[in-house]
Every structure is written in C-alpha cells, then in structure tokens.
Amino acid sequence: MIKRYLAANASKKLQIGCGKNPLTGWLNTDLLANQNVVYMDATKPLPFSDNSLDYIYSEHIFEHINYQAGSKFLKESHRVLKPGGRIRIATPDMAFLIRLYSQSETDISKRYFKHTIDRFVQEPKFCARAVVVNNFFYSWGHQFIYDFETLDYTLRNAGFLNTIQVKPQESADHNLRNLESHGKILGEEFNLLETIVVEAEKASP
C-alpha cells in the first residue's frame, strides 16, 4: 500500500494516527489497520527513505506518546520530509488548562466543565476545576501535554524551522487546511478552546 501510494501521488502526504478520519489524497496510517489504512507506529522508525515526503500530519496523537518517543518521532519526520516539507501537529494545549484553572470562570468554561464531567468523568461527579484538569492529564492514555513553547523547542531540536501556531482547520498552505476532525467529537467550540495546532518546516537547501 505504501509503494502504491508513493507511486500514484505527486504530492506525498502522510497522516499518522488517522483513527476514523482518513483523508483523501493522504497515506492514512494507524495502529489499527484495515484495507484502506496502513499499520504504522509513531514510536518506531518511519518506513520511508530520506527526503521522500512533502507533508506529515497528526491530530490528537502526539499527547499519547511520552516525550522521548515524541522527540524521536519528530526527528524521524524531519528525516523523511523533503527540504521545504511541512509538518502539522494538533494536540491538547497546556496553556488552555492553565487558563481554565487560574482565570475567572466564563460562560464557555462553565459549559466545558459540565460537558467534561457529564461525558468523561466517572468519579467524582463534582464540577470542579481540579477534577477536569486531572481528567485531561490522566484519561485517554495521555502521557505528555505540550504548550507552544515546548512544541517549538522540540521541533527545533529535531531540525525544524519557523514553528507557527494556527487555528484548527486553518493554514496558509491549502494542503493543510480543513484536516481536523476532533471538533466533530468534542464540538468545534470546545475543540478551538483546548487544541493547539502548530506547523513547522524543514529547511530548503
């Protein structure tokens, strides 16, 4: 499937951890493979030659691997991207959690608290900030939550340049627009609240 995809597509775009969001024109990969999705583990070396891909994208996957594995994944991504290639990562935002806990409650934060407690928390069924923040850190197999500063540092350490933050669905590059699906699960309003999206590039020669 990988060979067929690379042979058939001029623009070579890899999605890591597609889940239920396979994207048209992308090589969609996941730990759960099927006839349209290739098995791939983001913690292992990527099965591509150097300088062979144009884009790499992941949504709400990066937080599920520990920092060391995430750093290795970014170094592998840098290796397999072509010069000028871009990576886009959507992941939960630590800065959102800090604001949620420390700032005065707003209408949207109150609704986010209630939504989280009602849908995701078994015990305690108590609409408190600490309950919501703990749930965010320890549920769903989360292992490391990033903010922009840490994402930028880790991307630069892997060799990437020009890290920028963008909103879900938005990008200056048309190939990276309208990719995110987490809002379909959480609701677009809450997804905009909790998700950070960054892009970075591999230096051109």
When pLDDT is averaged across residues 92-107 and rounded to a whole number, the result is 89
When pLDDT is averaged across residues 61-73 and rounded to a whole number, the result is 96
Question: Residue 99 and residue 147: Cα distance in Å, rounded?
Answer: 12
Amino acid of residue 114: K
pLDDT digits (tens, 9 = 90+) for 131-185: 888 888 888 889 999 999 999 999 999 999 999 999 999 999 999 999 999 878 8
pLDDT for residue 121 is more than 80: yes
Residue 60's pLDDT band (boundaries 50, 70, 90)? very high
pLDDT for residue 205 is more than 80: no
160 burial via Cβ count (<10 Å: 0-12, 13-18, 19+): buried
| Dihedral angle computed from the Cα positions of residues 92, 154, 6 and 39, in that order, rounded to the nearest 10 degrees | -60
pLDDT for residue 80 is more than 90: yes
Question: Residue 51 and residue 136: Cα distance in Å, rounded?
Answer: 36
Give me the pLDDT at residue 188, please. 86
Residue 58's pLDDT band (boundaries 50, 70, 90)? very high
Residues in Cβ contact with 19 at an 8 Å cutoff, skipping those fewer than 6 apart: 30, 181
Domains along the sequence of the chain with CATH: 2-92+146-201 (3.40.50.150), 94-142 (no CATH)
Question: Residue 32 and residue 17: Cα distance in Å, rounded?
Answer: 9
Residue 193's pLDDT band (boundaries 50, 70, 90)? confident
107 burial via Cβ count (<10 Å: 0-12, 13-18, 19+): exposed
Give me the pLDDT at residue 59, please. 96
DSSP for 17-30 reads --TT---TTSEEEE
Give me the pLDDT at residue 186, please. 80
Residue with tokens 């800090």: 98
Phi-psi region of 146 (alpha: psi -120 to 50; beta: other; left: phi over 0): beta
Range with the largest mean pLDDT of 49-63, 121-135, 182-196: 49-63
Residue 38's pLDDT band (boundaries 50, 70, 90)? very high
The per-residue pLDDT of the chain, averaged, comes to: 93
